[in-house]
Structure formats: structure tokens, C-alpha cells
Structure 1
Amino acid sequence: MEPPQVAVVAYARSAPEEDTAGLSEAELLLPVLGEVLQQAGLRPGEPEFTCSGSSDYLAGRPFSFTLALDAVGAWPPIAESHVETDGAWALYEAWVKLLTGEARTALVYAHGKASAGEPERVLSRQLDPYCLAPLWPGPEALAGLQERALIDAGELAEPAPGKGPPAGDGAAAVVLAAGETARRICGRPAWIHGIDHRVEPQALGVRDLTDSPSTRLAAERAGAYRASVDVAELHTPHPAQEVVLRKALALGADAEVHASGADPLMVAGLIRLGEAAARIHRGEAGRVLAHATSGPCLQQNLVAVLEGERG
């Protein structure tokens, strides 16, 4: 029996300009979840599976993701899961769940509260504990190292303007649906025709920072090279990383590319997937590539190919 097709049928995010300082996880999520469920015509608790992405370590307290369930509505009990990373990987888990046929609809959401701490210090703790972490290099310092490698290799003429995203808070959510349920919910579903994620070695010294083999492999497994895409939505925590991703994804200079900008930590990847789906929902594109990353210098990469209904 063939697994069902799965599509993104609704997407919402917190406004980038919104003042979220001091809001709890539930307060961040409540309007976003309300909007995405309304788009899908579902009531709270009606999605058959719920999966979230966030970081307790970033928020500075254990099991902080459980506080967000106040916004979801966890009574009566729901089938729920959580991944300790960007919400793009929560979408991957929900996609697998729907492929098994155990659910027909899934709510996926992500929230990030970088303002609770100092990301430049906190994120250095994900590095190799023997050689790198004792030096306390933050994401900006490591991105600068990658940028310098690109300049020395002649792939970047000068330092990229701008810095990585500021410490901000935010949330995003999507609804997935399978088969005819997707067609009933959404007039133009964004079908997930392929999705895969891969990871580089943790030690930066054994990696070529001017290339991203994990992105290339994920794109190949997701079917990104089988046909051209109308738009590419790239998660680039630092501007110079767009050069690396364009090469790995075989995107020419004339390709329409939208980079992540200052999207919140733990949410930025899910936003790229959501924006890719929204372009299909609005009829602006027929085939869109979406990318998400996590870890230093594009360490972990997820690539998805979304398509509109084929006539």
C-alpha cells in the first residue's frame, strides 16, 4: 500500500516587528496557533498529532516546552511530541507520522526565547567540549571564521554586509494534512514531494567551511535536483552562508532566493518551510525548495521540496 501524500495546508507566524519582550511561551504561541487552526478550519485539540520544536537550554529552564502546551490545549489528552531543535525538524517528525497512516492531520509549532539569556554565550555550549567550547566562541565569531574561509577561497569578494539575527523571540506554526483531507482543508495544498536532513562532523577542523556536503546530500535525497525550482527559501543565520548554500543546492545567480534575515532562533527553519508553502498556497510558485539549518556554520541541514497540485 502506497503511503499517503502529505501537504502543508496552513501557516502562521508572529509578526517580526511585534514587541514580544516579557511574553511567556504560551503568550507567544496563542495568537499564532489560533490563526493557523482557523486557516485549517480545525478546533483546538482536533489535529490528530502535535509536534513542537524549541530549546529548553536556550530558554534557561528544564521542560520549558511543557509551558507552551497551555496555548495548545492539552486536555482532553493529545498525541504530542517535542524535538530539542528548530521547528523544521518537528515538521519532519510529523511528516513521518502522517506517512505511517496513524494520523491524518498534524499541528507543528516552534517557539524561541533568545531574550531569556545571551545567545553568544549559550550557543557556544553546543561545541566540542574539549577543544572549542573552552574558548567560548559564539555564533558570530564562528560565522566570521566561515566568511574568512570563503574570502580566502575566492568565493566571496568581501565581508558580507550585516550580522546574524539579533536576540529575538517569536513563534510559528503549520498544519499538515494527508491525502484527501489536505484537499478538503486547502484549495491549493503545498505537497511535500521530498524531505531529508543530514549532519556534518561536530569538529570544525575536519570540515571544509566553504562547502556543505550535508546540504547537498539532503537535497539529493529530497529530489531537489530532479527539476528546477521557482523559488528557494534559505535559512542563513549569517549572510555569507548564502554563498555556501547556493553552491550546494546548485542555485544559479538568477535563481529567486529568499534568505532568512533576522528570524528567531529555533523558529527560523520552520518559517522558511512555512513561507515556501505560503507561496504555493497563494499561487505564486509551483515548485519551491526550503532549507533549514541548526548548529554552528551550517552543521545540520534539512531540505524539502514542495509542489502545488499538478494539473
Structure 2
Amino acid sequence: MRDVAVVGFTQSPSMRREPDRNEVEILIPVIQALREQTGLSGEDFDFVCSGSSDYLAGSSFAFVAGLDAVGAWPPVCESHVEMDGAWALYEAWVKIQMGYADVALVYGFGKPSMGDLPLTMALQLDPYSVMPLWPDSISIAGLQARLCLESGVVRHEEMAAAAVRDRANAKDNPNAQVSGDFTVEGILAEPYLVNPLRKSDCAPISDGASAIVLAAGDRVNELCDRPAWIRGIEHICEPMDLGVRDLGRSRSTEIAAEKAGVGAGKVDIAELSAPFTHQEILIEKALGLSDASPTTTINPSGGALAGNPMMAVGLSRIGECATRIMDGRVDRAVAHATSGPCLQQNLVCVLEGN
């Protein structure tokens, strides 16, 4: 296996609605800032991979426009995943492992404010028996939350505490969309948005983008004094049918965490991409961080509950972990990304310093 590291990361602020810029215009300054950070130009990238969704733009092959942010010249070896940018990073990591690249540019971007995101997300459900009912993503998550509450897996107070923690952490994050001092009592007093979920239990809808540079071999130390080495990465997918899964746990995260080696050492921080508070608790448990690692800081950036740029939020979790390793604040971190309804598919990435 080749040693691969994150050597650069940039992101845009998470915004509820970008009134003046399209997806490409959001992405261009992110790519430009990453080039300035790493000193790389277009010809230095052996491979480029992006993550986005044509459903958000409402047109087929909309992702191709994202290449305008990379540049039309020189020609690049390029690929795309119809998923969060975290899965684009996984593809780039595989490409580097196979020896086809030494330096890769990875980015994710989305502008969900152009449509009704909760309803758009219904299109990922079973197309024959579930999607025709048009259940929105918040209602689907509400069903899972109700199951977790009634089975004793989570409590309302724990869910509120997760929101309080994340949004307090986000006060130090200039890119966060939602931050501030909240209280458990105040959140529990909120009316239900979709019973049993309150507004504070749900991640905001965010426009935004993020980008990462991966490198291997001699290029790593040329580009970064303290790289964030990817020591383990895995993603696992569960069945689409909600009725054949145990929605009170995230089995795919458990398997991915084991294969990625989360338990092999002390975890300083964990960045979780769970878009609902009860799901964040499930992910903490699946990663073994809820009780066994009381010293682990969860979502120092605020996580998805502070800013949720669709198709970039998972990649940003990896970037937030990498940034704290590269600047010396932490030595070992775990990043998580999710896709699909009720935590259907999950990716876990373990990063370490030198």
C-alpha cells in the first residue's frame, strides 16, 4: 500500500442561499485558494475527481460545468461520482494506490437552494414502493428518530445536547452557517418541525463547496511540512429497503470503522457528517466514541449541524480533520461521511500526523 496524505484543504462558507453565484462560481475561488495554498497549477494534478448531484442542478451532466473551475487547459484525467466529495476522495485514493497518480485534486460542490432539497432527496428511495409516496428526507429521519427514542437507543436530552455542543463549537468556525450559545432546555422547548424532530435537530440546508489535494511519494513532503496521512479508509453500503435494516444502529459505520482501524489508537477529534442529532449519536456509538473515548472532541468545527453543503459536507469533514493535523493541533483524527436515507452508506477515514 502506498502512503497517501492530505496536503491541502479549502472550503467556501456554508450559506442558506447563494443569491448571485451559480455552482461553478462558488467553486472557482475554492479551487484557486487551494492552488495558492499548495503552490500547484493545473498541470501538476495527475488526476481530478469531483462529487456532486445533477438532481440539485436539475439537468443531466451538470457536473461537467464544474471543470470550468479547474480550467480547460491542460487536459486532465478526470472522473466524477454522483455522491458527496468524500467518495470522490476515495476514488482518488484508489487511483493513487494503483500507481496511476501521485497528486490528485478532489472537490465537491452543490447548490440545493435552487430546489426543494427534502423532496429531492425522496428520489434516492425505492423507486417502486416508496418514492412514489414522496416522503421527504426530514420525515424519513423522523421515523428513524421515533424508533430510536421508543427503543431507548437515544433520548431527547441527548439529541438536544448534541445540537448545543456542535453549534457552540461552530462559533470558532468562520465558515459555519449556524452557531451560537444554545441550551438543552431551550431546544426542548422548541415546537416540533417533524415529530419528534425539532428544527435544532436538523442540519441546515447549505450552498457550498470544498476541495482537497491528495499526494503520495516524494511529492508529499514537497507540498506540506506536516501532512495528514490517511492511515485507513473504508465505506460500506446497506440495503436501500428501510424495512430490512436495523435503523437503531449504523452497522455499515461499525464495519467501516473496524476496517479503517479507528480503534487502533487514541482519537483526538472526530468530525461527523450526520445531518440529524439522533444520527450523530448513532454514529458516535458505531465509531466507539460515545463512552470508550471520553477525551475525543466531537465536531470541533460544528459538523453538519452547523453547515451542511450538499455533496461537500463529507469531504469537508475529512478536510477539517486534516487541517487540525497539518497545523499541529491534533495527532490523530477520524472523519465520517454519509449518503442515502437513514445512514444507508457510510465512509470512515482515519488520519494521522507524522
> Which TM-score bucket, shorter chain as reference?
over 0.9
In structure 1, how many angstroms separate the alpha carbons of the residues matched to 2:43 and 2:118?
Answer: 37
* CA-atom RMSD in angstroms: 1.4
Work out whether 1:271 is the aligned partner of 2:309: no
In structure 2, how many angstroms separate the alpha carbons of the residues matched to 1:303 and 1:256?
Answer: 16
Residue segments in structure 2 that go unaligned for 5+ positions in a row: 161-199
Map residues 175-214 of structure 1 onto 2, 5 A cutoff.
175-214=213-252
In structure 1, how many angstroms separate the alpha carbons of the residues matched to 2:264 and 2:272?
Answer: 19
In the alignment, is the contact (CA less than 8 A) between 2:16 and 2:207 conserved in 1? no
In structure 2, how many angstroms separate the alpha carbons of the residues matched to 1:31 and 1:91?
Answer: 20
In the alignment, is the contact (CA less than 8 A) between 1:37 and 1:175 conserved in 2? no
In structure 2, how many angstroms separate the alpha carbons of the residues matched to 1:230 and 1:166?
Answer: 26
Distance 1:278 1:155, change over 3 A: same
In structure 2, how many angstroms separate the alpha carbons of the residues matched to 1:166 and 1:141?
Answer: 15
Match of 1:230 in 2: 268
Work out whether 1:299 is the aligned partner of 2:340: no
**Structure with greater helix percent:** 2
Q: With structure 1 as the length reference, what TM-score do the two structures score?
A: 0.95
Work out whether 1:93 is the aligned partner of 2:91: yes
Match of 1:154 in 2: 152
Count of paired positions: 307
Whichever residue aligns with residue 127 of structure 2, its letter is P
Map residues 1-311 of structure 1 onto 2, 5 A cutoff.
3-17=1-15, 20-158=18-156, 160-161=159-160, 162-253=200-291, 254=294, 255-258=296-299, 259-261=303-305, 262-309=307-354
Deviation at 1:44, TM superposition (A): 2.9
In the alignment, is the contact (CA less than 8 A) between 1:9 and 1:186 conserved in 2? yes
Deviation at 1:19, TM superposition (A): 6.0
Whichever residue aligns with residue 208 of structure 2, its letter is G
In the alignment, is the contact (CA less than 8 A) between 2:104 and 2:215 conserved in 1? yes
Once the two structures are superposed, what CA deviation does each residue of 1:40-61 show, in whole Å capped at 9, x if it has no partner? 1101342111000000012111
Deviation at 1:208, TM superposition (A): 1.1
Whichever residue aligns with residue 213 of structure 2, its letter is V
In the alignment, is the contact (CA less than 8 A) between 1:140 and 1:163 conserved in 2? no
In structure 2, how many angstroms separate the alpha carbons of the residues matched to 1:180 and 1:4?
Answer: 11
Deviation at 1:18, TM superposition (A): 8.5
In structure 1, how many angstroms separate the alpha carbons of the residues matched to 2:343 and 2:266?
Answer: 23
Whichever residue aligns with residue 137 of structure 1, its letter is P
In structure 2, how many angstroms separate the alpha carbons of the residues matched to 1:45 and 1:149?
Answer: 52
Match of 2:172 in 1: none
Whichever residue aligns with residue 298 of structure 2, its letter is V
SS of match in other structure, 2:31: helix
Once the two structures are superposed, what CA deviation does each residue of 1:107-158 show, in whole Å capped at 9, x if it has no partner? 0001011012111111101101222112211111111111111111112222
Whichever residue aligns with residue 303 of structure 1, its letter is V
Once the two structures are superposed, what CA deviation does each residue of 1:159-213 show, in whole Å capped at 9, x if it has no partner? 7341423332110000000022111100110000110000111010111111011
In the alignment, is the contact (CA less than 8 A) between 2:15 and 2:206 conserved in 1? no
SS of match in other structure, 1:8: strand
Residue segments in structure 1 that go unaligned for 5+ positions in a row: none
In structure 1, how many angstroms separate the alpha carbons of the residues matched to 2:337 and 2:101?
Answer: 25
Whichever residue aligns with residue 106 of structure 1, its letter is A
Deviation at 1:252, TM superposition (A): 2.9
SS of match in other structure, 1:29: helix
